Amino acid sequence: MTEDQKQAYKEKYLRAKHNGEHFFPDTIYKDLIVAFAIFLLLVGLALFVGVASEPRADPSDTSYVPRPEWYFLFLFEMLKFFPGNLEWLGTTIIPAAAVLALLLLPFFDRNPARHWKKRKFALGFMGIVVLGMVALTVRAAVTTPVQQESTVATTVAEKIAAGQDLYSVQCVECHGAEGEGGVVSGVEGLEGVTIKAIHTQDEMYTRNDDTLFNIVDYGQPNLGMPPFGKGYGGELSRSDIEYIVTFMRYSWDDRAELPKEAAQASAIPALGPDEIPSYDTHIAPLVKRYCVSCHRSGKENNNYLMTSYDQVMNSGDHEPNIVPGDLNSNLIRMLHREDIEAGGPMPPTKALKPEYIQLFERWIKAGAPQTTTK
């Protein structure tokens, strides 16, 4: 800008100011309205959208799909266009050039005009850049693989419930449904090994949560317990192990008081004298807690899988294990600890409580329905 242009601009600006408004109250009034609207928007977002809960950081979980915060997504996406040996172009040169260009903009943009009609190149260029950023962000959002859903428990009750589910699958085959231990059967490499009870006062009082966490995480190799943490070849994430420890503490430690809602959530639903039991409400929770640990794929179980109604009714080398209406079904005989062709007593270590066996019997007598329709 020449000195004349500067002078002309100053004069014009002074006139605009003269014909303008007062900062107080005219301008500040608009600012306050916007600020108030923003505040309401934020409270609304906090109330109705909230902050999504995420599982605890787990350096060993390499399956996690990392994503930067959304406003860095365009940079992240841009990097995909640079092959390995040119990566530094995308990570260093382009961002550095962009920042430098922004910083020095008033010094290399020598065009004195301010109205958009006289600045078509500058505005067009910026428009393309902004559109490119938006397009890259959208592209990143669309191409992001869906994150594997993991349950995030936030309340103690939710943690206990999640822990119980995980315990049922991962731990029951050796430690028993109540942590009672016993002689292991049907587990590769540990056949016939006697495992001590882990639900005793002695165990609970002498091991704190960190110790329990580490035992699950690392295992106890000398005693035959394999590691369960993801970092050591197991299936459990940090959060998973935390839930199991919470479940053990609240279920077995007599110093911990089980929250009411947790007790309700984990209770096997009671059955009235005239009520017909159904798989979905009554049998599934029992199966989940006492059977699934062994009766799932990848375990030694004569191919009898119990993770869904169809599998419970129709799978296994000796199917059918359940014949609706027949109390001589394999399942009932084995629950009564008979040794038959289909297999030995079930569960191997300890009989189910009589009322649970009764529940199975009433269910089969009623025709083994999946749901009860009234």
Partner 1 sequence: MTNKKVFNWLDERLGLTAIYKTIFERKIPKVNWWFTLGSATLFLFALQVVTGIMLSVYYVPSPDKAYDSIEFIMSGVAFGWLIRGIHHWGATLMVITVFIHMLRVFFYGAYKYPREITWVTGVFLLLATLGMGFTGYLLPWNQKAYWATTVGTSIAGTVPGIGDFILRALRGGDDLSGVTLARFFAAHIWIFPLLIIILIGVHLYLVIRIGISAVPGKND
State how far the Cα of 350 lies from the Cα of 337, in Å rounded to an integer: 9
Contact between 302 and 343 (Cβ < 8 Å): yes
DSSP string, 232-293: GT-SB-HHHHHHHHHHHHHHH-TTSPPPHHHHHHHSPPP--TTPPP-IIIIIHHHHHHHTTT
Nearer to partner 1, 91 or 302 (CB): 91
Chosen residue from 11, 39, 191, 232 binding partner 1 by CB under 8 A: 39
Alpha-carbon distance of 3 to 305, in angstroms, equals 88
Q: Does 146 bind partner 1 (CB under 8 A)?
A: no
Among 4, 83, 115, 328, binds partner 1 (CB under 8 A): 115
Q: To the nearest whole angstrom, how small is the minimum distance from the Cβ of residue 154 to partner 1?
A: 6
Q: Which is nearer to partner 1, 130 or 223 (CB)?
A: 130
Pick from 4, 11, 40, 61 the residue near partner 1 by CB under 8 A: 61
153-192: contacts with partner 1 (CB under 8 A) = 154-155
Which residues inside 118-137 make contact with partner 1, applying CB under 8 A?
Answer: 119, 122-123, 126, 130
Q: Taking Cα atoms as reference points, which of 172, 214, 217, 218 lies closest to residue 195?
A: 172
Minimal distance, residue 304 CB to partner 1, in Å: 36
Q: Measure CA of the first residue to CA of the last residue in the chain; give whole Å.
A: 86
Distance CA 330, CA 340 (A): 8
Task: Please list every residue from 288 through 307 that binds partner 1, using CB under 8 A.
Answer: none
| Subset of 74-103 contacting partner 1 (CB under 8 A) | 75-76, 79, 87-88, 91-92, 99, 102-103
Residue 133: CB atoms within 10 A of its CB come to 16
Q: Which of 4, 11, 40, 56 is close enough to bind partner 1 by CB under 8 A?
A: 56
List the structure tokens of 151: 């349950």
Give the residue carrying structure tokens 């601009």: 9
Q: Cα dihedral angle (168, 158, 363, 309), rounded to 10 degrees?
A: -70
Please state the closest distance from residue 237 (CB atom) to partner 1, in A. 8
Give the separation between CA 9 and CA 167, rounded to whole angstroms: 76
**Quick check: 189 and 223 in contact, CB under 8 A?**
no
Cβ atoms 217, 232 nearer than 8 A = yes
Binding flag, residue 59, partner 1 (CB under 8 A): yes
Q: Is 18 helix (H, G, I), strand (E, B) or coil?
A: helix
By CB under 8 A, tell whether 250 contacts partner 1. Answer: no
For partner 1, the binding residue among 4, 83, 108, 116 (CB under 8 A) is 116
Cβ 309 to partner 1, closest distance in Å? 33
Q: Residue 51 Cβ, how far from partner 1 at the closest point, in Å?
A: 5
Options 4, 108, 114, 374; binder of partner 1; rule CB under 8 A: 114
Answer yes or no: are the C-beta atoms of 276 and 366 closer than 8 Å. Answer: yes
Residues between 9 and 38 that touch partner 1 (CB under 8 A): 9-10, 12-13, 16-24, 27-28, 30-31, 33-35, 38
Q: Given the complex with partner 1, which of 109 and 317 has the nearer CB atom?
A: 109
Q: Among 4, 113, 142, 341, which residue interacts with partner 1 (rule: CB under 8 A)?
A: 113
- Kindly tell me which residue out of 43, 135, 340, 351 binds partner 1, with binding defined by CB under 8 A: 43
The reply to whether 138 sits near partner 1 by the rule CB under 8 A is: no
Residue closer to partner 1 by CB (options 28, 223) is 28
Q: Which residue's entry shows tokens 């009714």?
A: 313
143 interacts with partner 1 by CB under 8 A: no
